[in-house]
Structure 1
C-alpha cells in the first residue's frame, strides 16, 4: 500500500535512511527527534512511527523511546521495504534475495498450475506469453515488461496456492527494479521470451515437470544477467542515484 500525505513522506525518508544504514539497528530515537529532523508536527511524527511499527522496523516503548530493530526482524516482504533496500547502496543483496525467492517459488507454482489450473487460466497464460512474444519484436520496452509482469502474476495466481499468489507483489519488485536501476540487457532475450511460451504450453498441456523446468531456466537466466551487470560495476555507478517513481509498467 502506497502512503500519501506528509506522514507518508516522513516514512519514506526514514525508511530510505534505515535501509542505507544511516540510522542503525539499536539506535533510539525520540518523537521530538522525528519532529525536529523532518519539520513536522507531533501528530505527523507519531503517525509515521506507527507505520514503521506496522512494518516491524521500529518498536516504541514508554520511557525508552523509538528503537530501530535489526533488519532481520523487519517485514522484508513489504514492497515499500523492498524498494528502500533497492534504493540503498546495499541493493545487490536485496536483488540476490529476490532472485533466490523467485527461484524457490515460481517453478513450484508452474508445476501446481499444470496440475490444477482451470482451462480459462491455462488459456490466459498462453495469451500472455504470445503478447510478450509479439511485443518483443518491437521497441515497446515498457509494454514488454508490463506483459512480463502480467505473465508472472498470472502464473503465481494459477498455482492455486494463496500464499504463492500473495508473493506476486514481492517478485514483481525484482522485475521493476531491473528496469529502474537499470539492470536489463540492451535487447530483449529471445530465448527467455521463447521459454515463457514453453511454460504456458506445458501448463496448458498438463506437464508439471516441464513447466517447472522451463520456469527454472527463465529465473536462472535472469539471475545470471543481474550478476553480470552487478559485477560489471553497475551497482557502484548507481549507488547514489535515487530510484525513479514506480510506474505500472516495467
Structure 2
C-alpha cells in the first residue's frame, strides 16, 4: 500500500506541475487511459491520482463529460502541494508575488492581535524561535534557520488567537522551505534579518501592537525585496538597516 501511495503521489505531482504550467489546459478532458499511457501506471493508480487532483479542485468529474481540468482560480490555491507545483514551473515569480502579498495583508494584523491578546506562553515561544534563528545564523546553519523562521511565523499566527489566520501557517511554511530549495536565500544569514524577528517578538511580548505590526511589515518588505533581487541574479541583502524602527 505504501508503494502504491508513493507511485500515485509521483503521478499527482507530475500532472499537477504540468497543469499549473499551462493554464490553456483549463476545460480539457483528462482521460484515465491517457494518464495510464503517459505515466506507465495501472488504471488503479491513475484513478487514485485523479481523485487526489479532484480533492484539490484541480479537476472535476461530470456525468457524460468525464474528468475536466478547472481554471487555475478555481483550484485550492492554499494547498501546500499546489503551491509547490506553481513554484516548480514558469509560474514561480507570480506565485512568489501572490504569497508575498498574502503575507503582507495578514501577518502585520496577526502580530498586532498577538500583542493585544496572545497567550503569554506563545509569546515566550515566539521569542525562543527568534533566538533559535539567531543561533542558527551564527552557526551558518541555513536549514536550521529556515526551520526556526517557519516556526516563528507559525507561532505568530497562532498567537493572534484567530484560527483562520493560524491556518495560513502551512502556506507561509511552504514558502520559506521553498526559498531554501530554490536557492532564493542569501548564502549566509543576515544579522539584520534576525534582529527584525527579535524586535518583533519583543514588541509582541510587550503588548506593543503598533510596534509588532510595523516590525512584520519591515520583515516582509525586506523578504520580498530579497527574493526579487535573487530571482534577478542579484545579492540577497540590500544593505539597509535591519531595525524595525527605521521602517522599510
How far apart are 1:149 and its partner, in Å? 1.1
Q: What is the CA RMSD across the aligned residues, in angstroms?
A: 1.7
Counterparts of 2:196 and 2:234, CA distance in 1: 28
How far apart are 1:186 and its partner, in Å? 1.9
TM score, norm. by length of structure 1 = 0.88
Q: Give the aligned partner of residue 79 of structure 1.
A: 80
Q: Give the aligned partner of residue 119 of structure 1.
A: 120
List aligned pairs for 1:141-180, cutoff 5 A: 141-180=142-181
Counterparts of 2:8 and 2:142, CA distance in 1: 34
Whether the 8 Å CA contact 1:60–1:66 is kept in 2: the answer is: yes
**2:91 counterpart of 1:90:** yes
Q: Give the aligned partner of residue 53 of structure 2.
A: 52
How far apart are 1:137 and its partner, in Å? 1.4
| Shift in CA distance, 85/156, structure 1 to aligned 2, threshold 3 Å | same
Counterparts of 2:31 and 2:133, CA distance in 1: 50
Counterparts of 1:39 and 1:23, CA distance in 2: 24
Q: Give the aligned partner of residue 131 of structure 1.
A: 132
Which stretch shows the higher mean deviation, 198-207 or 125-134?
125-134
- Aligned to 1:29, the other structure's residue is in SS state coil
Q: Give the aligned partner of residue 196 of structure 1.
A: 197
| Shift in CA distance, 41/121, structure 1 to aligned 2, threshold 3 Å | same
- Aligned to 1:77, the other structure's residue is in SS state coil
Q: Report how many aligned residue pairs link the two structures.
A: 232
- Aligned to 2:78, the other structure's residue is in SS state coil
How far apart are 1:26 and its partner, in Å? 1.5
Gaps of 5+ in 1: 235-250
Whether the 8 Å CA contact 2:23–2:72 is kept in 1: the answer is: no
Deviations 1:131-190 (A, max 9, x none): 212221122111111111111111111110111111100011111111111111222121
TM score, norm. by length of structure 2 = 0.89
- Aligned to 2:176, the other structure's residue is in SS state helix
Counterparts of 2:109 and 2:71, CA distance in 1: 31
Whether the 8 Å CA contact 2:77–2:83 is kept in 1: the answer is: yes
- Aligned to 1:137, the other structure's residue is in SS state helix
Gaps of 5+ in 2: 236-248
